[in-house]
Structures are given as C-alpha cells and as structure tokens.
Structure 1
Amino acid sequence: MILGLAGTAVAVALAGRRVLFLWKLFTSGQPDPERILQVKRDPKADLEGQVVEVMGQRKLLKWTASGLAHFFVMWAFILLISVYLEAAVALLFGPDAHIPGLQTWGPIGFVQDTIALLCLAGLVTFAIIRWKNSPKKLDRTSRFAGSHLGGAWLILFMIFNVIWTMFFLRGAAWANGNLAYGKGAYFSYLTGQAFEGLSHDTLEVLESVGLLAHIYVALVFLVIVVNSKHLHIFLAPLNVMFKRRPDGLGAAQPMMSNGKPLDFEEADPDEDVFGRGKIEDFTWKGFLDMATCTECGRCQSQCPAWNTGKPLSPKMVVLELRDHAFAKAPYILASEEQREKFTDEQKAAMQVDKPLVGEDGVIHPDVLWSCTNCGACVEQCPVDIEHIDHILDMRRFQVMIESSFPSEAGVMLKNLENKGNPWGMSEMKRLEWIEELDFEVPVVEDKVPEDAEYLFWVGCAGALEDRAKKTTKAVAELLHIAGVKFAVLGPMEACTGDPARRLGMEFVFQMLAQQNVETLNEAGVKKIVATCPHCFNTLANEYPQLGGNYEVVHHTQLLARLVEEGKLVPITPIEEKITYHDPCFLGRHNKVYKQPRDIMAKVPGVKAQEMHRHKERGFCCGAGGARMWMEERIGKRINTERVDEALGTDPDTVSTACPFCLVMLGDAINEKKNAGEAKESLEVVDVSQLLIRSVKGEGSPQGEKEPAAAE
C-alpha cells in the first residue's frame, strides 16, 4: 500500500504540473467566446458530438481496419477503468476485498477480459499498419511521414504492458482465490491455470507484484500521455465539444481580435490582432487544436497539395505550430520583468525572434500558399482540428500587414477593387450572355420583379468566362422551360469576395460583401440560385456575418427538385460513360453530393462511373483558396492529377458543377489531348449541360437513339 500510494502521489504530481502548464498556455491565447456560447446554446449538439464522434468513433471507422482497432483500444481505456478501481480496492483494503456486485458478477469479468483481448488485437493491427506504412519504406506517401514515430511505438508498448499486467494480476488472484468472477472472466481463469500448484505464500507475493506492476504501468503511462501526442486521450472530447458546428465546413471565420469581430474602421494597429502574426495571436482553441493532434496523418494522406509533391502537410503545419508554442511557452508565460532577465541564448532556445511565417520561419511561405481550402484535412481529422482556419488566419497577417503574397494574386485583388471581378472586365459585359438566349431575362433595376421566385446569381465566371457561360445559359434555359421565374442583377452584381477572403485580404472581401448585401437587401431579394459553389458558399454561409440573410440554393439542388417534380423531363438518351467530379465547396463544404448525381441518374443512357476518390474523399481541382489566380510552380499540377484519375475510368465525358472545376479540368484535359493521352472527343461539362441536352432532345453527339426518343 505504501509503495502504491507513494507512486501514485509522484505520478499525479508530475502529471498535474504538466496539466497546469498546458492550462496556462492555452488560456494565454486570444479569447474565443463563441466556442463557449455555442455549447450553452445547443447542449444537445454537444451531446450528439460526444456520442457519435468520441464514443462512436464515426470518422475513424471510415477507415475500417485502423478504425476498428482504435475503437477497441479506446473502449478498453474506458471499460478497464473498472479493473483499476478493483486494483485500488485491493491496494487499500487487501486482495480479498471486493465491491459487492461489481467484482462478483461474472458478466462484468467477461466484458473486461473480452475488451482487453480486443485491445491486444488492436495493438497488433496498429503495429502491422505502422510497419507496412513506414516512412522508411514509402517516404512521403506514408501518412506517418513527419510524425513522431518513436513516441507512437512507446505508447503501443505501454498499452501492451497494461494488458499483460492485468492478466498476470488476475491470473494470480484467481489461483489465490481472490478473483470472484469465476469462469466468467474466462481468459483470467485460463491465465490462472499457469499458477496452479504454487504455495499460498508464493501466490500472495505474485499477486502483490502483479498489483503494483499494473498500477505502476498506469502511473508511468499517465505521465507519458500528458507529455506526448497521446494527450488527445483527454483533449479530443474537449476539441470535439468546442469545434465549429456547420453542416459541412461552411463559412470562413470572420477576423477576430480580442474575442470580437474586427472593425476595420475603428481598428487600432497597436491593440488589435490582424490574423496570426505570432504564436501568441492564436486563440485558446488554436492551442487546443495543436495539443490534440494525434499525428495519425489522415489529413496529410488526403491533402491534394501533399499528394502532388508540394510542401504543405496539414499535419505538419499543426505539429510545427505546436512545437513552436511549447518552445516559446516559457517566454509567453513569463512576466515582463522575467523576460528582461532572459539571455540571448535562452531567447534563441525559446524561438522568441523566430517569425511565424517566412523562409526561416515556423511555416514556410510555400506551405502557406499551397493550400486550396478544399477541406479534405478537416473532413478526415478524427479529433476535429480546424486546419483551414489557422492557415487562413496566417494568410491574413501576411497579406494585410506584411503585404507578402504571390505577386499574380495582386492583379486579382486590384481587379476586384477597381472592377468588381477578378479579370478586371467591364461590369456591362455581365449581360452579354443574355443576348445569346431566345427569351427575355429580367434584369433588376430597383426591386426584384414580384413574379420572380429567384434571383439568379450568375457570378463572375458565369458571366465573363466563356466555358462557364455555357452553364449559365443552360441553367437559364432550364429554369425558363420549367416555368421558374427569375431575374438577374447584371451590372449591379459584383464578385462575392470569396477569392479575396480565401487569399487573406479580408478588407477587400468586406468591401465587396457589404456592397452586395446592400444591393440585395435594397432589391428585396429573398431567394437566390447560384451556379458557382464558391458564390453559393459565400452567399449562404458568410453573408449572414454581414447582415445578408437569404435562402440560397445551388443550381444542382434546384434542378434536381424540378426533375423530381416533373417540371423538367429528360427524355433523350445520352449514351455516354460519365464520371462526376465533386467540387470541394459544394461537396465537403456544404454536403451537396446527392443532387448532381440524381440529375445524371435521371438522364436516359448515362452510365455513371465514380472515380476512386469521390464524395467526402473527392480530390480538389486546384482552384480553391484563391489558387485559381496563382501559378502552380511546385510539384505536379493538382488539376492534372485529378484528370489522370478521371481518365482511369475511360470516360466519354467528365461532368462537374462548378465553373472553377470546369476551367481547371478542361485545361488539364486539353494538355492531355495535345500529348495524345486523351481522346479528342473528351470534354468537361456541367451537369446542367447534360440535362439541357436531354430535355431539348439533343442527346448524344453520335445521335444513335435520337429518332427513337423523338418518336
């Protein structure tokens, strides 16, 4: 008892000291009151998150083998607390003491032994996965590249020690007559057979040794956990509790300073925080994210930048920020008087003067500007780390304070400021597509016409880019055929500001957004249909931050409903094999996966063929995060990688539902055609273009079944 209590006191003191340090570090971050308020507003959502994400391991189980292994190990941690409760009773009151009911009911022993064995199976699975996916074998294709591998193996070894000491203790206890579960604890019973024939005194010694070994392993494990990446055992439920809760990734967060949205008109450069220029600028939730990372590499394995040879790994961004935060923590937590006493060597060790972003900084600029905001990292993260928010906040400081960003993006920003679109074209050109239609499209002058159900938000690409104009005209025709009344803003429409916001130029975003919100509100707009997922996401999820609250639908959602209601009837077969590419801002950001596929499914003759990476695991086209206006100079082009995957399905057509994707995939396919690697007839089209062909009787280019359809 003395040895057990002494060891417990030492371990708890060491662990408590670390926890206190972490608490001080986290609370030194910027305030983020909304995280607390959302839990108070909707405790039911938090409970659901704990049940589904933490207890149910929803995201982990998407990867079946490793997911099941983690499921069993996690539940072993929870259920085997009862074994440690028994150990505490034995330590304090003697090995023959039992809690009535808990330590005498056979089914409990059965559950304890079973979960312990499943945990062992999980450990073996983890070991095999780590061996097969070792960075020494696979280099950067391993999701564990960059992770602290030694620490992971140590944790597996410690969990193994927990299990074998448990069975050693229970086997000796059974042989000594002190395990009251009988044969219900079947594996403990079998282990006890190995101790049969030993004297009572020997068994008492073995039981005491087993008891102390089992307790000491747990105490050492506790100290290791609070000083390692396995801190997620305790922090993951908290991170899930305080995560953002959109349906999908939703909006980019507004710029916050001292817990409040930043007001550019009243901002004080000396008092306010503009993005993240140093580690102290991160919120307490940012620090929680850093400490919660499990280094599993799922985000890294899905990242389009990492998969095409670029330096961005979402995992490594979080780990580098975490390591920097821990290194600088003594300086952050010190008083001004204490800071003055630090020597230059101490400051260098604490990375006091190390820039957050820079050639010699914590995060290299190439890492920061490789992100497409696709959301694959956030979607896959089993502990709900918000990588995109942190990358975007660091971009904001670089753009707005340091004026440091890819030069070609500067042209885009100037065009947005001066002309209201990324290409710098005249606002009057926004109406040219209407001239190619054979029916009238109402243009809003002051108010939306009373009979117009929707405002059709055409978007910059939809109005000004030739390939995207085809989508615009197809959607307009389909709405006209279905009898849906709509109007457009024409010259009054300006860019939603998405490229500026995703680049990090929040000021330009707010300027454009406030202008548009004022226009929409004065026009009395209630319902909007948009063809661009970036516009759709911004209008639906980000404009409410500025007082713009509208019912916004993507054109695939509206068209799918019109087809379902029989207002649009696709009758002419399109005898083509078609593979669909999920736009990131439609799919992962807004969970719209079903409707584009529903449209294709209703078109006769279409043979849909999914790419390997689709829906929530879809692969980016490379245009998001303002990358549409930046050169891709490192590694393989993301759009080329995606088209290579599309070509693997041997399609006649590649379909999508985003003008950015249309351009990026189209460019890559043209390169493939020029190189003789794709058939000349291959094209990229929006799903609305497929639908209009079938509805209007144009069918397949071959026209094989058009007469029958017409008949």
Structure 2
Amino acid sequence: MLWVAILALVMTVAAVAVAGRRALFLFKLATSGPPAPERIEYAKTHVPEELKAQIVEVFGQKKLLKWTPSGIAHFFVMWAFFILLTVYIEAYGAIIQGAITGEPDFHIPIIGQWAVLGFLQDFIAVACLLGLVAFAVIRIKNSPKTEGRKSRFFGSHLGGAWLVLFMIFNIIWTLFLARGAASANGNLPYDSGAFVSIGLGNILPASTLLEEIALLLHIGFMLVFLVIVVNSKHLHIFTAPLNVLFSRRPDGLGEAPEMRIDGKPVDFEDEDLDPEKLGRGKIGDTTWKGFLDFYSCTECGRCQSQCPAWNTDKPLSPKMLILDQRDHAFKVAPYLLPGADTSHAGQDVLALLDKPLVGEDGVIHPDVLWSCTNCGACVEQCPVDIEHIDHILDMRRYQVMVESSFPSEAGVMIKNLENKANPWGMSEMKRADWIEELDFEVEVVDEKLSEDTEYLFWVGCAGALEDRAKKTTKAVAELLHIAGVKFAVLGPMEACTGDPARRLGMEFIFNMLAKQNIETLTEVGAKKIVATCPHCFNTLANEYPQLGGQFEVVHHTQLLAKLVDEGKLVPINPIEEKITYHDPCFLGRHNKVYSQPRDIMSKVPGVQTQEMHRHKDRGFCCGAGGARMWMEERLGKRINTERVDEALTTDPDTVSTACPFCLVMLGDAINEKKNGGQAKESLEVVDVAQLLIRSVKS
C-alpha cells in the first residue's frame, strides 16, 4: 500500500498546486479593479440576512428549485459534493493507514461506522448519477442545434458542460468501484446502510490490487476534476457562495446602485472629479464584485429565457452580456494584473487592452446595451445572484456622461428633465390641472402640510401630464376622498423623481432632481407618501435614502387594499368582466408587490380573473422601463405587442395594471390589435384603481 500512498500524495500535491496557482491568478485579476467596500461593509453588518441567504439560496437551492426537474437534479448533484467529502476523508485515511499498518480499514472517528452515513453516501451518489442523466436529457432536448434562440443554452460554452458531466460520472462510478472492492476485502467501514457498495462487494472478487487501483482512479478523477473546475464555468462551485454573500439584499433589484469612484460615492460638486471615471468604459474598471459575477456565471441561460428583449428577437442576452465581458477579461488578464509590463505586448494585445466595453467594435454592442428595460427578470431568476442590471447601468453611465453616446430620442427627454423637470417638457403649472376635473377640493401644498394631512400624494409626471394616466390619478384621489383619508399634493412644486435619467445612465441629472425633491419634501414636512407610479415609488422609497431622503412610501394599490380590508372602501357594484392583470416590473419583481392589486380585484363583485402564462415573478415587461419609454423600439418584435399577444390568449374583457407606463404601452399595443381586427373593440386597459372606483361609487 506504500506505493499507492506515494502516488496519491504526488497526484494530490500536483493538482492542488495547479489549482492553487489558478485560484491566485483569479484573485489577483478580480482585485485589479476598483474596490467595493460597501459590499464588505454590508455583509459584516447584516450577518443574519447573509446567513439566511446562504442557507436558502446556496444549501437550499431555492431559486433553482423553481425550475423542475433541472432544479431537483442540481440539488442532488450539489449535495453530492458536500456529503461525498466524507468519502474522500475515508479514502485518504485508508491509503495512509494502509501505508503505515498494511490494513486500510480506516473509518472517520465517532460517525465513521454509522450505517446512516453509509446510506447517505450511497444514496446521494446514486441520486447524483440520476441527476447527470437528467442534465444530459435536458441538454439534448434543449440543444441550440434544434431549438435555436429558444434554447436557454444558446450562446453557452457547450463543450465544457459535457466534459464536466463526463468527469462527475467518472468520479461516481470509480467511487462505487473503490467502495465495492473495499467491501469485498472487508475494509468498508459499514456493515449495513451502504446498500450499493455492499451489494457490489458481494459480487466483486476479494482483491487488494483492485481496491488500490480503484482508489487511485477515484482520487485521480477527483483531482483532474478540481483542475478543470477552476479553469471553467464550473468555477461557480467555489465562487457562487461568495457571490451570494456579497450580493445586495434582498436581491439586486429595487434601487439602482449608488455611483462610486474608487469605492466612494460620487460628489458631482467636487472640482477635482475625474469624468473618465464615471461609470465603466473598460474592463479594467470592473470591481471585484463584478468579477465575482463573471466567475459565478454557470451559463444556465435562465436569465436569457426570461429576458423580454431576447424573447422579442433583440440582441441582448443577459447571459452573454456577462460571458462576453468575462471572456474579454481573460484575454487581457495578464496585462490587467498589478505591475503588468505591456512594453513587449504585440499590437493585437494592445488593441484588446484599449478595446472599449461598449461600441460598434467594442466588447458589448450598443444595441445590446440599449435593449435593456431594467425589468429585473434576469436578476430574479439567476441562481447565483449575478446583478446584470448593475453592469448595464455602469456601462450606460460611461456612455451617457463621458462619451455622450446614447439613442437620440433620449436626448430630448434629458433636456426636458433639465429644463422643465419632466420628460415631456411641459410647464410645471400644468401639474395641478387634473384637480379642476374633480368635484371636491384637493389640498395643494403651499409651504407646509397641514397637521391633519395623513399622506402626501405623489402624482408623478405621467399621472399629472399624460391623459391616460390622469384617469388613474383622479380615481385614486376620489377613492382617498371617499375613504376619508386626508391627503395633499405638491402641484407645481413636484418635479420628476429622476428615474428616467438614472436608468438611462445620466446620474448627474438624477442627482440634481433627487436633491431638489428631497429638499422640497423635507421642507413641507412629508412623512408618508403614496405614489401611483411604480417607478416613482421605487425611486422615492429605495433610492432617495442614498442621498439622505428617508420617507415612508407606499404604492396606491397597497394603500387601497388596506382601505378595502378596513371597510373604508366597499366595492358594491358588480363588474361582470373577465380581467387579466399585468404585473408592472418595478412594482412586482423590483418591490415584490404582487398580492395587493389582485386582492383589490378579488373583492370587486362579478370580476373573473385569469392569469397570463407569465405572471408575478415571471411576469413579462411592457417595454417601457430602463428609460425605454422615451426610445424608439426598432429591433425585433415590440415588447408591448408580445405582452398583449399573451394577454389576448386569456380572452379578456379588460386588461388591468398598476403603472402609468404599462397603461400607455399596453394601450398602444391593444389599439394596434384593434385596428388589425385582432382584438375586440370593447377591450381596454385600466388601472386597478379605476376598477375599484367603478365598483365603489353608487
């Protein structure tokens, strides 16, 4: 057994050295860019939340288990890695003990002969084998060769995936061979429980040589697998728990990340501000958290399968957005590391180093960058917490503020925000015009909110200035009036929250508008705010705290559902209609408000609700988020048309939603369908509040 111990030791040292060298390289590459101290600080100060995330997402595989059977298969394969660590302790222990005493009958102290452990080892190995079969079937069934763009594996590095499946298969069969041979020789630690190993031991010949060769084969395949893992996409085995640990909680949705330079929040009033550091223009500007995203991508394509841009034949695939950056980073990696000498680099390498992240000849094509609606489907579905939107926003910030390169239509919106504080460029005096259409008075704040005012009603630009959205505004105001809720509006004092500017990448304009609004809200004494626009709601509640604006903010569906539950609003008039509800992305995925709009509709007599195929956390975008509301959609099928096509499959009388952007986008698509004779003339899109006021008013 001595020769086995020597050979095993040599193989182990060699493999660990090769893997360790690669790990050191990956660490140096990840830390070559700007720091991200806020990630470490958050993890340190939110230990319970991070511990829960590890238990639920890493060990519990919550996100993957949403997708069965692939989720179940991955669950067992992943747990095989943990449980079978005990087999390696036994294997190395047997080799060492055999070399010393000549009797390789080693067992782990205390638990090493427990039949339950033996059963778990064999059970999880069998489950792992079945998982490999499931993976193979799924990959064959969803092959890009047959499914094309519909395959979530389209664009993935397929060869590496098959190699890893083959290597795991080799590890499992050699594990059973080694344990079966050990059982035949009387060296297996278990007298019962290990049902496969003991069964094999009953049919295998008693042979010391067979046991030794099987042990070496098993360890050898494991070590080769280790080297492959650290050089492939399966690096996520080690980096995914770290990526989950340093991700934003509860997920990478809601607020856009604060813009930082060298780890510090950007001060736009700083005279020494280096504009070249705004956003991300080159791969070397990526923080270590960004590199963790690169390392953790498993190329599973779940993000791609849910992306509204990809599903409407646009070039954006969230998966390939990450992979293209990762592949480029590895190409130029030797020259990104600290102290790298580029003096002897060839022209090709220097060209790669200077390659912009975004451009016609860049790593990411502009059409990819500007196709994103910020809907969050990619982040919601990613099993390893990659933050795709953060990458997109960082690149947009550089394009907009440094390169001045963005869709021309958005330039008009930016000028209007800068000059008139609303995207349409209308006079601020028009913000209160909708009040004249009501038959009761609405308090418009002059200097301070009245002491008995419970809510400040944040109307928003669309709610005040867009005709279709104004119907929602008036419905909400009337419902609050009926319920006896004292509220007030800012009127001309209200300005755009800055969401379109921030999502476009114009952080400077967002900063300006946000500070102006925070100052106004503070001066008037606003504490509780109700907003009808999910984009305003998200910005006020989640992003203004970055600049010191702390307010209690609710969406109108949350407040109305509460008033209905309390009996202050009583739906009495039946609405005999079949209604399908569209989840606004910034209300649903970004802020997890799914139940309240549905609760309101369920209380309205006569309403029959029918869910679309894609709803709640798998809902499909209307196409207006990410500042796309102010950009032309020239590539592929229009996203709002795709969504309305899905809505029409439910044969609705009405499509309801809870967002002014969705109201406009879905309404436009339905009108097109009506003109083409593909939708009934009576079909309309309304806000949930409009349904409620119809039922409440006698």
For the aligned pair, the TM-score class normalised by the smaller chain equals over 0.9
The residue aligned with 1:694 is 695
Displacement after TM superposition at 1:119 (Å): 0.6
Displacement after TM superposition at 1:177 (Å): 1.0
The residue aligned with 2:118 is 109
Counterpart check, 1:283 vs 2:287: yes
Displacement after TM superposition at 1:184 (Å): 1.4
Letter in 2 for 1:55: F
Partner Cα distance (2:275, 2:464) in 1: 42
Asked whether the equivalents of residues 35 and 288 of structure 2 are also in contact (C-alpha less than 8 Å), the reply is yes
Q: Structure 1 residue aligned with 2:346, among 343, 347, 362? A: 343
Displacement after TM superposition at 1:343 (Å): 2.7
Asked whether the equivalents of residues 458 and 490 of structure 2 are also in contact (C-alpha less than 8 Å), the reply is yes
The residue aligned with 1:122 is 131
The residue aligned with 1:324 is 328
Partner Cα distance (1:243, 1:255) in 2: 16
The residue aligned with 1:145 is 154
Counterpart check, 1:372 vs 2:359: no
SS of the counterpart of 1:103?
coil
Partner Cα distance (1:208, 1:588) in 2: 54
Partner Cα distance (1:656, 1:10) in 2: 60
SS of the counterpart of 1:184?
coil
Partner Cα distance (2:239, 2:349) in 1: 30
Displacement after TM superposition at 1:98 (Å): 2.7
Partner Cα distance (2:512, 2:55) in 1: 42
Counterpart check, 1:98 vs 2:107: yes
The residue aligned with 2:190 is 181
Displacement after TM superposition at 1:247 (Å): 6.5
Q: Structure 1 residue aligned with 2:9, among 5, 8, 20? A: 5
Q: Deviations over 1:631-688 (max 9, x none)?
A: 0000000000000000000000000000000000000000000000000000000000
Asked whether the equivalents of residues 496 and 513 of structure 1 are also in contact (C-alpha less than 8 Å), the reply is yes
Letter in 1 for 2:198: Y
Asked whether the equivalents of residues 621 and 661 of structure 1 are also in contact (C-alpha less than 8 Å), the reply is yes
Asked whether the equivalents of residues 304 and 310 of structure 2 are also in contact (C-alpha less than 8 Å), the reply is yes
> What value does the CA root-mean-square deviation take over the aligned residues?
1.1
SS of the counterpart of 1:140?
helix
The residue aligned with 1:210 is 214
Counterpart check, 1:190 vs 2:199: yes
Asked whether the equivalents of residues 257 and 272 of structure 1 are also in contact (C-alpha less than 8 Å), the reply is no
- Structure 1: unaligned runs, 5 residues or longer: 698-711
Q: Deviations over 1:120-155 (max 9, x none)?
A: 111111001000000001001100000000000011
Partner Cα distance (2:336, 2:677) in 1: 58
Partner Cα distance (1:503, 1:475) in 2: 29
Asked whether the equivalents of residues 462 and 469 of structure 1 are also in contact (C-alpha less than 8 Å), the reply is yes
Asked whether the equivalents of residues 29 and 287 of structure 1 are also in contact (C-alpha less than 8 Å), the reply is no
Partner Cα distance (2:272, 2:667) in 1: 46
Asked whether the equivalents of residues 105 and 181 of structure 1 are also in contact (C-alpha less than 8 Å), the reply is yes
The residue aligned with 2:580 is 579
Would the alpha carbon gap of residues 432 and 346 (structure 1) be closer, same or farther in structure 2, given more than 3 Å must change?
closer
Question: What pairs with 1:58-457 in structure 2 (closer than 5 Å)?
Answer: 58-94=62-98, 95-195=104-204, 198=205, 200=206, 203-246=207-250, 249-266=253-270, 268=272, 270=274, 273-333=277-337, 335=339, 338-348=341-351, 351-457=352-458
The residue aligned with 1:529 is 530
Displacement after TM superposition at 1:102 (Å): 3.2
Partner Cα distance (1:450, 1:476) in 2: 19
Counterpart check, 1:570 vs 2:590: no
The residue aligned with 1:636 is 637
SS of the counterpart of 1:455?
strand
The residue aligned with 1:702 is none
TM-score (norm 2): 0.98
The residue aligned with 2:23 is 19
Displacement after TM superposition at 1:229 (Å): 0.4
The residue aligned with 2:597 is 596
The residue aligned with 2:625 is 624
SS of the counterpart of 1:213?
helix
Asked whether the equivalents of residues 247 and 590 of structure 1 are also in contact (C-alpha less than 8 Å), the reply is no
Partner Cα distance (1:508, 1:603) in 2: 42
Partner Cα distance (2:406, 2:62) in 1: 38
Letter in 2 for 1:260: K
SS of the counterpart of 2:570?
coil
Give the percent of matched residue pairs that are identical in Structure 1 and Structure 2: 76
Letter in 1 for 2:265: P
Asked whether the equivalents of residues 248 and 591 of structure 1 are also in contact (C-alpha less than 8 Å), the reply is no
Asked whether the equivalents of residues 258 and 272 of structure 1 are also in contact (C-alpha less than 8 Å), the reply is no
Partner Cα distance (2:599, 2:377) in 1: 23
Q: Which deviates the most, 246-255 or 602-611?
A: 246-255
Aligned length: 689
Counterpart check, 1:473 vs 2:482: no
SS of the counterpart of 1:339?
coil
The residue aligned with 2:673 is 672
